[in-house]
Amino acid sequence: MQTGKTIAVDSKSSESCTGLDPRVEFMIGASLHEDYAETDFVHSIVGRIFAKVEGDAEEKEAGCVKASLVQFGEAMDHGITTEGLGDGVDGNIAEYWELLFDLDSGYWKEEIRDEYEALGCDLLIIDCIEVHPKLRGRGIGRSVVDRTIDIFGAGCGLVACRPWPLQFTPAYTRDRKALKRLRAPSVGRDDAIRKLRAYWSRLGFWPLGESGIYLLSMTQRGSSEAPKTRETFAAPRSGLTSRRVC
């Protein structure tokens, strides 16, 4: 059994969102059964973005953000074993578990803890963000990311994402109508990936070596300084392939 809660908040940027009056409505689901399972500590978050376009009296849907709140610390507090966490969650999330956490203790790997000064063991993953073509470049995306982290990242040690352009994901490459509706910039895959990674870097995220994952420390949030080192803690991967989108 699932229950959903909707949270509506303003998502404003003093620099670029003037006149758009943007906001985002979040929906998050949670199980109500008494016997906890591993998946009960993985919460899918969907945020619908709304804004008023110049000349329109009424606001219109302007995009969406999708995220996952993974309560690793809470799971262990409820008796979920580290083996259960590694095997019982979604395969893509399990990859974060393997790269960031000590599989024996269930806490951040020592090098991750030292590098990013991570405290709480919960992890917020920004899965995907999409803004209507007419409203891109107006600061809405950044504002939505900031508000998503404000609301759902408070108890987390890290926020993570895997920057990957939507137009190069199977969901869009196999659907011409969706790809046309996306109206992505006409650039090659590698250039698109580099630009997107640069965008997330400007938001304060730093690459985890060559893993394709970018991390933001909640204790270092707002600092312009990089983590202590930029060495990889994950096995290097060739090319720019990835499974998650962001």
CA–CA distance, 231 with 242 (Å, rounded to integer) = 20
pLDDT tens column, 6-20: 444 544 443 455 567
Confidence at 218, pLDDT banded by 50, 70, 90: very high
Q: Give the pLDDT of residue 94.
A: 79
Give the bridge partners for 158, in sequence order. 123, 217
CA–CA distance, 243 with 170 (Å, rounded to integer) = 10
CA–CA distance, 111 with 245 (Å, rounded to integer) = 26
pLDDT tens column, 117-156: 888 889 999 988 888 877 778 888 899 999 999 999 988 9
In terms of Cβ atoms closer than 10 Å to its own Cβ (0-12, 13-18, 19+), residue 42 is buried
pLDDT tens column, 99-116: 998 888 888 999 998 888
Please compute the mean of the pLDDT values over residues 197-215 and round it to a whole number. Answer: 90
For 240, the token pair is: 């720019």
